[in-house]
Structure 1
Amino acid sequence: MKKHTDPSKDPFLDRESEKYETPVPSREFILMALKSFKHPVKAKQLIHHYQLSDPDLIEAFNRRLKAMIRDGQVVKLRAGFVIVEAQSVVQGKLVLFKEGDGVCVTEDNQSIPIQEHGLRGFYDGDKISVQVRKLADSKEVVGRINQLLEATVPTVVGRFYKHHKLFKVQSLDRKVSAHITIPKGHNAKAKPGDIVLVRILREERFHTHYEPVGEVIEILGDFATTGIEIQMAIKKFNLPTVFPQPVLKACEKLPAQVTPQSKRNREDLTKLCFVTIDGEDAKDFDDAVYCESHANGWRLWVAIADVSHYVKPNTPLDKEAKLRGNSTYFPEAVIPMLPEALSNDLCSLRPLEDRLTVVCQMSVNLEGKVTRSVFKRAVINSKARLTYTKVAAIYAGDSTLIKEYERQLPSLKALLEVYEALNKQRKLRGALDLDTIESKIVFDDKGKIEKIVPVVRNVAHKVIEECMLATNVCAAKLILRHKKPGLYRVHDTPPSEKLKQLRAFIHELGLSLNGKDKPKPADIAQLLSEVKERADRHLIETVILRSLSQAQYRPENVGHFGLAYPHYVHFTSPIRRFPDLVIHRIVLDILEANTKTTYDFETLAKMGTHLSQTERRSDEATRDAVFALKCHYMQDKIGEVYDGVITGVTHFGIFVELKEIFIEGLVHVSQLGREYFQYDPIKHRMLGDVTRQSYQLGQSVRVKVVRVDLEDKKIDFELSNEHVSSRKEKAKNKKRNHNSTKQKSEGFSEKKGKKAAPKDKKAKKLKGKGKKVKKKAKRDKIFND
């Protein structure tokens, strides 16, 4: 903080004195101070800077700061006040986060942070107009809402309860932190404790004393109801579950089987030994593969369900699929993008049934490069429905399965070979290979969690992944070659601020990252390779993963950083992803030489924003439901002790994931010890001021479950006594070893660490006094630190 400034030096003091009996620093004087600091400044720091001590003066000063926020002269960030410079006005949709923050997402998929104080009365999904301001001396921008263009009709999931004589609902959505009043006759016979869906009624959103009023429109059950977690997530994230009547009527008109007429003008590939390879519980089979080995490499066929044959643009089926954006997968449940008549039947590449497909036929040389690719409309007949587990077992030499799938064996062998060749190219490109662990919830007959197990990716997963990646790249190249507008799956370079933090973190570990301000994927891949054998490998991989950008759908081709591709689209899953259906239509426009394209650039830009949002919505809904299920699972585990690993470090504590069951909870900073713990964002750790005990990302700890909150979906841990005792013992040993040399010189015996008997009466007399002095010095050190 800079030295104090005398308020009498205010250039506009005379003007302020005319207006106010006791003037506070003028707006211009405050702006001058903020500009000189070049970093966010808190109100109390400004008060100290201007040497304000009178309570009335301080109150007036705080009112002035609020007025400056209101008028857009400054913005209040969590770190303090910053000057802003007016830029422009944009429109977009408001997206709220559970932390209380919000962003305006524009049609070109730009996210503009909204000043936190300006969100009162607004709801997730509102269409808003935003004044965009650039932070002074920074590239960052913030937005201030200046108009509500189109109000959403908000619905809230909450717990119904009675307060005195009033019915109320406590919101269980942290985006809407409110207690909603339910008038008489609007409770739909809900009982206290019920989980309900409420529609907000009152529109006086921006009244100073605004309190939402609503009506119960659905009773979901209570916390003991089986499947309540998924139902809550569906309602909370407004996921459409019921197909409208026009969509159902369109499905009624679909043929029961693939018709002979629909097979016309398609290549007949039914004699090729295509197979599908998916998980055990898969029902919608998007893709089938077949491969032949040749002297110069391989010929690879990837057949994808031709959804575009049944779902035409601007039809009810198309509009509903676009609205949903993608299928949403919950444990033991799925909300499909397309009705089951298509997703699980006509479009699904079921074994021994003719199916309409779009096929990508590729020639792959011995180096793993795709030298030629051709897209065609075709008919296939899958010869087997295989699983990843079975294929991996075949590759491992399972004689029973080898005999059972003898006819498919040549193709399966060629698929493994082509995968190994393609994977070599993947490594040469510098694609990132981050070894993340996913978990799967296993339910019992009553729909409750029986266990949580890790999902093991075997070689069969990787074979299919490489085949799909190659197909997606070929589709992107085709679109680029014909200069058609496309909807690319883009993954931008890491943000500069996150890169800066990553470099600072690895520097502390004696590592470095090449590429200066713009590292290439190969630079990060090289870093990952260097840490592969290190004990802290997972820690470093986690920090790298959190430094990366989020993938999006955009018509601008900026490449895919993580996969190290200069161009990439999603083509291989049109049953469950609308972007893939869009790419199918563009590819077919090219194949059929249509002069008029299905989509223009502007349409694709709007679509990309929407589809990126629906993808995030599904991901958030799935995470929400999974964590709610895990909270239920942990309800009867309070008091139990588990081994865990630190997965997150913040100023308020450490997040720990239990190793055996993959459940995350918080150890609050107050539970770390009786000393003050300093949060170090660069090293991702908490450090004790006195003992220097540290808790760092990736570190193993032993914790005890102390609280489970079903409403807030929070699990609290504390360090177990075993961990604390072990920590204290290590600290004691460290201190003892550190002082061993010093102890000898002060008369301590080496063997037992006890002080030798004094050799004269004077020494004996001083013995007790010395203990008191040392004890006092130690106490003073603790308080001074």
Structure 2
Amino acid sequence: MIKIPKPPRSPTPPRSSAGLPDDDTLLEALSAAREVDVNDLARKFGLKGDDRRALRQRLKALSDAGKLDKRGRKTFGAQGVLPDTGAGTVVSQDVDGELWVKWGKDDNDKSPLARLAPLKKSAQQTPPGLGDRVYVRFEKAGDEWIAHLIKVLDQGAPKVIGVVRKTKKAKGQPEIRLESVNRKSKENYVLTGADLDKLKDGDVVMARPQGGLTRYGPQPATLIEVVGHETDPKVGSVMAVHAHGLPIGFKTSTEDEAKSATAPDLKGRTDLRDLPFVTIDPMDAKDHDDAVYAHPDDDEANPGGYVVWVAIADVAHYVKPGSSLDRDAREKGNSTYLPDRVEPMLPHVLSSGLCSLQENENRATLAVRMVFDASGTKIAHKFVRGLMRSAAKLSYEQAQSAIDGEPDDKTAPLLEGLLKPLWAAHACLTKGRNVRGPLHIHSPERKVHLDKEGNVIAIEPRVSLEAHGLIEEMMIQANVSAAETLEKHKSPLIYRVHEAPSLEKITNLADFLHTIGLPWNKGEAPNTQRFNKLLDSQREGPHSEIINEVVLRTQMQAHYSAENFGHFGLNLDRYAHFTSPIRRYADLIVHRALIRALKLGDDGLTDYEVKSLSDTADHITATERRSMAAEREAIERYIAAYLEEHVGANFAGRIVGVTRFGLFVRLLDTGADGIVPVSSLRDDYYIHDDKAHALVGERTHQRWRLGGSIVVKLKEAMPLTGGLVFEAISEPEPHDPNMPRPRLGARVRADSRNPSRRPTGGPPKGPSKGRVKGVTEKKAGRGGKGGKKRR
């Protein structure tokens, strides 16, 4: 059979297509696109089949030619336009300290740099540094790109502060160890790096742990710099500064801007030089943010009322948005006050010079005139940008002595016309304060006195004078006026907020009060009146100090926010920091907001600052807490150095904390805090009852209770860490039959089977009724697992 071949099949006709656009059309379509998928672009132009493949090849060619950015396997974006989010590298830091992020790999030279925005409070890591990989959200702000940190992908090891200890290995080889001065860490390191031969035993250095190189023993750490020596009296502050990464000094450009500043004139200002303002500050104050003046209101419609002026240094006149001064001030966030030094937010030429309201010198000011009625209620206020001249610079002690009938040569001429009207106005404002009812918490502070070499010569409590209350209340009213004015003008601002205590904190307070027989309804909403009733009722009682301490710990921590949550402690609906722009960046922002809202000049808050207020609030909250931690650590080290020569002496104290590993004790005379390790309580095995806030003996049921008085012996003082270790000298409180009995431990059950081993005077015989909720077993003594010391 002859096969007849079939005719060839006709090819399938191609599907219709609109045709591949040329390069110019593609580039125009992607001119402002942050990220476009190839498939979406193909649909836009109606491309199908081979044209889609040709489109991908064309886009890749444009990317290779540097006309497009390739974002992913199938995504492209316009040249010079960053994606919504992406991974990048911190590639540079400019002369002003700003960090810059490059999208993609750090060798990508096609994409623009983005300035890293201040970290948000929610970013739970240390700030990124050069070379770190970060995942960020990109945002266009004017002509520049901003990178908002989402996550640090790869970050170097943190820095550590420690003391050099030179040792010898088994074969006589030298080895340099580094002992960390962080009380929360017991890590030791072996130093590596250059210039190790120049180190001396006892040098305090900063190093970067390498981590993960050895499984056992000390880890290697690379030497970064020497910051002092352990014998230097001032090393406590030096370590605190370096440990918390406090920015030190100023950039050259910042110093140059400060030095070029000139004294203000009257142009565009209200002349306030005829008003006899006075500054009242601590005796050793170098900068003077605020001045006050008051007189009776001469308005017949306001009988018994007062006019109070508060004049604040016009820092915004000198520190312009975006300047080097501004960037340094923002980075620091605030001034830091250490026992032997101040790390100022602004250079001294401004903070102690042109910005400081010095006596008999013309100074630029942003002032508020407030009118109060006879009940102390503010009925009006007005802000002005002016020129003032302080009539006198007084200390709190000088002003108070004059009012108390002992004026000196300087205050005697000021008494009738200036000081007495101020005190009368304060009495008026106090009426309003009493009606408002802010918290009556007393927060005692200690002042460390140093000699010229930096050695501690005395530690004394700060005395609270009526003069302190006068300035405080007038500053509070000025801060309220600032917040009210900005809200009235619908201007964004940074608030100082303080939320009400959480339910958990209220529950803990109620549990503690129950242990001393005081009722507290957990279900009732917290308010300042309830707290004040409690505090005032116990003011003269034996538990006054500890109740004050526990109520203080019950409060939330104040912070800055672009949203208003009110100020619980001051019992105010709105509150902003306005009165200290020399030492707080928050106040400078509020000044700029007022200048913008009230049209008081062209140096007010910028659009970019308005857009980034939330970031700024989070940033300055973090810098404030950083400074507080450094200040606290420095004081603890100075106090430990002061008490080092008193090791072996006995001190009276009070138990301010109870944990499973020991008692935290505060000495009454110096305010120093230290620990009595549970391992040193050798008369019994102690367990932690967190409901009763006590360590309870398993056999005797005697207890060491929160708030109890105690006499301790100083066993160890460690200036390098600030740690103090005590030994209890006084006896624990006797067994309280009304308290629930904790569960008996294994040793106690053994003793119950051997009556001869049971201590006398204990609780009635019989088995325990079981574990009480909230009780954690903790053994003490030589054989107990709780015998390890925590320093």
Both structures adopt the same fold (TM-score exceeding 0.5): yes
Out of 337, 341, 350, the position equivalent to 1:329 is 337
1:270 and 1:127 mapped to 2: Cα distance? Answer: 55
**TM-score using structure 2 length:** 0.72
Does structure 1 residue 314 correspond to structure 2 residue 322?
yes
Does structure 1 residue 663 correspond to structure 2 residue 672?
yes
2:431 and 2:87 mapped to 1: Cα distance? Answer: 46
Does structure 1 residue 699 correspond to structure 2 residue 708?
yes
Partner of 2:583: 576
Partner of 2:621: 612
Q: How does 1:415-564 map to 2 (within 5 A)?
A: 415-513=422-520, 516=523, 518-564=525-571
Normalized per residue, which structure has more helix? 1
Contact 1:589 1:597 in 2 (8 A): yes
Partner of 1:391: 399
Summarize the Cα distance change of 1:572–1:560 in structure 2 as closer, same or farther, 3 Å threshold: same
Identical columns (%)? 33
Partner of 1:39: none
Return the offset for 1:550. Answer: 0.5
Contact 1:376 1:591 in 2 (8 A): no
Return the offset for 1:554. Answer: 0.5
2:186 and 2:711 mapped to 1: Cα distance? Answer: 33
Contact 2:311 2:366 in 1 (8 A): yes
Contact 1:182 1:213 in 2 (8 A): yes
Out of 643, 657, 662, the position equivalent to 1:648 is 657
The residue type equivalent to 2:583 in the other structure is: R
Partner of 2:244: 237
1:194 and 1:701 mapped to 2: Cα distance? Answer: 37
Structure 1 segments of 4+ aligned residues over 6 angstroms from their partners:
122-130, 204-211, 593-596, 779-785
Does structure 1 residue 377 correspond to structure 2 residue 380?
no
Out of 160, 165, 175, the position equivalent to 1:161 is 165
1:128 and 1:782 mapped to 2: Cα distance? Answer: 64
1:156 and 1:444 mapped to 2: Cα distance? Answer: 29
For residues 8-43 of structure 1, the C-alpha deviation after alignment (integer angstroms, 9 at most, x for no partner) is xxxxxxxxxxxxxxxxxxxxxxxxxxxxxxxxxxxx
Partner of 1:290: 293
For residues 117-141 of structure 1, the C-alpha deviation after alignment (integer angstroms, 9 at most, x for no partner) is xx9xx999988779xxxxxxxxxxx
3-state secondary structure, aligned to 2:589: helix
Out of 195, 215, 231, the position equivalent to 2:204 is 195
Return the offset for 1:147. Answer: 6.6
The residue type equivalent to 1:161 in the other structure is: R
Out of 191, 194, 206, the position equivalent to 1:185 is 194
2:130 and 2:444 mapped to 1: Cα distance? Answer: 32
Return the offset for 1:778. Answer: 5.5
Contact 1:297 1:364 in 2 (8 A): yes
Partner of 2:270: 267
Contact 1:487 1:569 in 2 (8 A): yes
**Relative to structure 2, which stretch is displaced further, 630-639 or 551-560?**
630-639
Return the offset for 1:413. Answer: 1.5
3-state secondary structure, aligned to 1:501: helix
Contact 1:290 1:415 in 2 (8 A): yes
For residues 39-75 of structure 1, the C-alpha deviation after alignment (integer angstroms, 9 at most, x for no partner) is xxxxxxxxxxxxxxxxxxxxxxxxxxxxxxxxxxxxx
For residues 355-383 of structure 1, the C-alpha deviation after alignment (integer angstroms, 9 at most, x for no partner) is 00000100011100110000000111111
Return the offset for 1:407. Answer: 3.2
3-state secondary structure, aligned to 1:350: coil
The residue type equivalent to 1:699 in the other structure is: G
Partner of 2:683: 674
Summarize the Cα distance change of 1:777–1:308 in structure 2 as closer, same or farther, 3 Å threshold: closer
Out of 639, 655, 659, the position equivalent to 1:630 is 639
1:123 and 1:516 mapped to 2: Cα distance? Answer: 47
The residue type equivalent to 1:525 in the other structure is: N
Q: Structure 1: give runs of 5+ residues left out of the alignment.
A: 1-88, 94-104, 131-144, 736-771
Partner of 1:412: 419
Out of 728, 731, 734, the position equivalent to 1:719 is 728
Q: How does 1:683-698 map to 2 (within 5 A)?
A: 683-698=692-707
1:484 and 1:236 mapped to 2: Cα distance? Answer: 38
Return the offset for 1:776. Answer: 6.2
Return the offset for 1:218. Answer: 2.5
Contact 2:183 2:723 in 1 (8 A): no
Partner of 1:709: 718
Summarize the Cα distance change of 1:196–1:361 in structure 2 as closer, same or farther, 3 Å threshold: same
1:235 and 1:205 mapped to 2: Cα distance? Answer: 24
3-state secondary structure, aligned to 2:285: coil
Contact 1:273 1:408 in 2 (8 A): no
Structure ID, larger Rg? 2
3-state secondary structure, aligned to 1:461: helix
Return the offset for 1:466. Answer: 0.2
Summarize the Cα distance change of 1:235–1:731 in structure 2 as closer, same or farther, 3 Å threshold: closer
Return the offset for 1:384. Answer: 0.7
The residue type equivalent to 2:270 in the other structure is: E
3-state secondary structure, aligned to 2:622: helix
3-state secondary structure, aligned to 1:263: coil
3-state secondary structure, aligned to 2:435: helix
Summarize the Cα distance change of 1:126–1:337 in structure 2 as closer, same or farther, 3 Å threshold: farther
**Relative to structure 2, which stretch is displaced further, 334-343 or 660-669?**
660-669
Aligned CA RMSD, in angstroms, stands at 3.5
For residues 415-467 of structure 1, the C-alpha deviation after alignment (integer angstroms, 9 at most, x for no partner) is 21222222222222221011121111112343211111110110000000000
**TM-score using structure 1 length:** 0.72
Return the offset for 1:645. Answer: 1.4
Partner of 2:772: none
Q: Structure 2: give runs of 5+ residues left out of the alignment.
A: 1-85, 91-116, 137-148, 298-302, 738-752, 769-791
For residues 263-312 of structure 1, the C-alpha deviation after alignment (integer angstroms, 9 at most, x for no partner) is 21111111111100000000000000000023431010000000000000
Contact 1:559 1:565 in 2 (8 A): yes
The residue type equivalent to 2:309 in the other structure is: W
